[in-house]
Every structure is written in C-alpha cells, then in structure tokens.
C-alpha cells in the first residue's frame, strides 16, 4: 500500500511540474492557471486529464541546452611551463649558454 501512495505522489508531482513548466500559450483546451488548479485539487484525475487533454502535442523544445549546443568558451591562456615550444626553446637556450 505505501508503494501505491508513492507512485501516486510521483505521478502527481510529475504532472504538476509538467503543467508549471509548460509555456502558457502551449497549454491546450484551458488556460494554464486552470490546469494547475485542476492538477492540484484532483491529483490522480487532474493528472490524467492534463496528460490527455491539456499537455501540448508534438515535440517540445529542450528545457536545457545540450552539451553540443552550448557556446564554446575560449581556450584558457597557457602558462609558459605548459607550452612545449617554449620549453624546447628554453632547453636549447640553456644548453647554448653552457
């Protein structure tokens, strides 16, 4: 029995989060605020109604940027001891001075 309660709570939270994060213009059949009230006041039935009648159809844009879509950061400057050309030149100069 506690497992059923947890499943209902998880379903309710999923539907509530989905309603809240859906843009206002994409909610179907009713205004978004009314959908929030329906899901809050009738957890199971409201969630089912939301999924069948209110949730937007078709692909939704991602809520978060994927790694490949993020703007790339400029490469951080290297220190002289991280530059192999600098180290080769330094080694050559030290041998030439001896």
**In-domain check, residue 93:** no
Encode pLDDT of 23-37 as tens digits: 988 999 999 999 999
pLDDT at 95: 87
Structural domain contains residue 20:
yes
Residue 72 lies in a domain: no
How far, in whole angstroms, is CA 19 from its chain's centroid?
16
Query: What is the total count of domains within the chain?
Result: 1
Range of the domain at 43: 1-57
* % residues pLDDT > 70 (the chain): 84
Q: Do 31 and 19 meet the contact criterion of CB atoms below 8 Å apart?
A: no
Residue 25 vs residues 8, 30, 34: alpha-carbon distances, Å: 28, 10, 13
Q: Are 50 and 19 spatial neighbours (Cβ–Cβ below 8 Å)?
A: yes
96 within domain boundaries:
no
Instruction: Give dist(CA 41, CA 13) in Å, integer.
Output: 13
Residue 74 placed within a domain: no
């Amino acid at each position: 029995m506690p497992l059923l309660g947890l499943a209902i709570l998880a379903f309710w939270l999923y539907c509530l989060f989905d309603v809240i994060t859906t843009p206002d213009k994409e909610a179907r059949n009713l205004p978004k605020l009314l959908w929030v009230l329906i899901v809050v006041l009738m957890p199971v039935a409201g969630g089912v109604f939301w999924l069948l009648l209110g949730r937007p159809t078709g692909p939704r844009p991602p809520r978060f940027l994927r790694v490949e879509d993020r703007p790339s950061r400029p490469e951080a400057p290297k220190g002289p001891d991280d530059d192999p050309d600098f180290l080769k030149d330094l080694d050559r100069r030290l041998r030439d001075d001896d």
